Amino acid sequence: MVYGVSWGPAIPIPVQTVRGRMHLLYYVTLSLLVLITLPIWIWRYFTTPKYRGTLLRRLGWIPVAERAPDRGRPRIWLHAVSVGEAMAARALASRITAAFPDHDLVITTVTRTGQQVVRDKIPEACAHHFLTLDLPVCVQPLVDAIQPAVLIIMETELWPGLFRVLARRGIPICVVNGRISPRSFKRYHAIRRLTRRLLADGRLYLMQSPADAERLIAMGAPRERVQVTGNLKYDQAMNPPDAALLRRLEARLPAPVAPVWIAASTHPGEEELLLPIHRALLAHPLAPRLILVPRHPERCAEILERIGKQGLICQRFSQLQGDWNTPLLLVDEIGWLAGLYRLARVVYIGGSLVPRGGQNMLEPASWGVPVLFGPHVFNFRDIAAQLIQAGGAIQVASPADLHTRLNALLESPETCRTMGEAARAVIPANAGALERTLDALGPLVRNL
């Protein structure tokens, strides 16, 4: 038996078994990767604000003041990696706590922006923690602090170290809203011996589509543990932003007179493609305005430099006092995008002109706004196909194509209304995943 140095009870790794050897290889590889990249993480710690204050927590240190109060109740651990998963988890968290009032809910995320969504939007959570590095020496203190009766993971976050620690303690693991893209499937298939043993530790896999379910089964998940429940993002889109947020937004940013297009959740490399498009659109008699919302607000300083180099005048959302009088508004705070969509005539969804897989297209669709996106939407392939088929979205091939489409739509409010209504109709037609997910989770949670 091989034992690791641990801040909690040591977990033996039985190297004489295939599973033990696979996990040992994973732990050694991950440890070497951490050591090799340590100078990068140290540099980021001192230069990037979002990495400060969380390093020790990601290594397994859980301050006593941040732990959930011990009320003698079983705890449901819900993990949502970042903003998108946390937003999709909102309705699920509310329904879980209503269905199981004798349980406490603890949520983990990987990112600080995800943490902010939990704190601002999910009041049902009695505690939040950052998910640690996936080594037993780090995972065990987190599990000790949470003391979960069950772990529910949003989408398909597969962590060998975490799964193994929980499986050895007899704590069931459930994946909800799961998806496996064709690209991810190829990567997982290359290490299918590891994924087969990893998936054996999961108790229940609730997948978005039959294709996702079949890919997971091909990776080694036991077929009897896999169900298709649909995509929770459709149910999420059925719930508009709360009225208080919309009132605050209206006080801060009244509806402008000129037509507005939004570039939502943009990624590095994308702004330099979009800013020249907006500069060209400004020559149009309508003089449309752009609301630019980067996926990660900490990038706003570098984006402001790019805006200046394009000769554009910009205001920052955080500095608005009810008067937007420039051609471009840069949103440098999170939590506002869902409400901003109501101002748009058309929305471009980021992460799609660059190969990042796209972002959630259903939020603008829920406002009845037509959606444009680029060729790289592999993370939202099914949603994109539904919107295109319904006539509520257009997939563009290039920045030049995006410019042409934007120009045409901005000139035609009637076309935008028709497309927007078609986009909106896709949502109720595909909702229902929340009820199916709760029905599948119910027997497991009740029998804890």
Confidence of residue 48 (pLDDT cuts 50, 70, 90): low
Q: Write the single-letter amino acid at 403.
A: H
Neighbours of 329 (CB within 10 A): 23
Average pLDDT for residues 53-70, to the nearest whole number? 85
Q: Are residues 287 and 160 in the same domain?
A: no
The pLDDT score that the predictor gives to residue 33 is 85
pLDDT of residue 12: 43
Please give the pLDDT value at position 54.
81
pLDDT the model gives residue 194: 82
Specify the CATH number for the domain of residue 263. 3.40.50.2000
| Confidence tier at 31 by pLDDT (50, 70, 90) | confident
Mean pLDDT (whole number) for 405-422: 97
Mean pLDDT of 28-45: 80
Kindly state whether residues 134 and 252 are assigned to the same domain. no
Asked whether the predicted pLDDT for residue 202 surpasses 60, the reply is: yes
204 and 288 in a common domain: no
Compute the distance between CA of residue 9 and CA of residue 366 in angstroms, rounded to an integer. 49
Q: What is the pLDDT of residue 19?
A: 62
Provide, for the chain, the percentages of residues in helix, strand and coil under a 3-state DSSP scheme, each rounded to the nearest 5: 50, 15, 35
50 contacts: CB under 8 Å, gap ≥ 6: 111, 112, 113, 298
Distance CA 345, CA 291 (A): 11
Do 176 and 255 lie in one domain? The reply is: no
Residues 359, 266: Cα–Cα separation, whole Å: 9
Any idea what DSSP says for residue 64?
G
Q: Say whether both 17 and 87 belong to one domain.
A: yes
Please report which confidence band the pLDDT of residue 50 belongs to, taking 50, 70 and 90 as the band edges: low
- How many domains, the chain? 2
pLDDT, averaged across the chain:
90
Which domain range does residue 224 map to?
2-238+432-446
Residues 258 and 202 in one domain: no
pLDDT greater than 60 at residue 322: yes
Asked whether residue 306 falls in the same domain as residue 210, the answer is no
Q: What is the pLDDT of residues 137-154, one digit of tens each?
A: 999 999 999 999 999 999
How confident is the model over 369-381, as pLDDT tens digits?
Answer: 999 999 999 999 9
pLDDT in tens, 230-273: 999 999 999 888 888 899 999 889 888 899 999 999 999 999 99
Across the beta sheet with 148-154, the strand order is 127-130, 104-109, 75-79, 148-154, 173-178, 204-207, 226-228
Domain shared by 265 and 401, yes or no: yes
Residue 366 and residue 221 share a domain: no
Asked if the model's pLDDT at residue 384 lies above 90, the reply is yes
Nearest-CA neighbor of 231 among 347, 108, 84, 356? 84
Banded pLDDT at 113 (limits 50, 70, 90): confident
| 304 and 338 assigned to the same domain | yes
The 10s digit of each residue's pLDDT in 83-97 is 889 988 999 999 999
CATH code: domain of residue 147: 3.40.50.11720
**pLDDT band at 335, cuts 50/70/90?**
confident
Query: Do 167 and 261 have their domain in common?
Result: no
Give me the pLDDT at residue 16, please: 42
> What is the Cα–Cα distance from 170 to 267, expressed in whole angstroms?
40
Contacts with 327 (C-beta within 8 Å, 6 or more apart), sequence order: 278, 282, 287, 289, 290, 312, 313, 314
Shared-domain flag, residues 212 and 280: no
- Comparison of pLDDT for 183 and 291, the residue scoring more: 291
Distance CA 146, CA 67 (A): 7
Please give the Cα distance from 70 to 75 (Å, whole number): 10
Catalytically active residues are 85
pLDDT of residue 156: 85
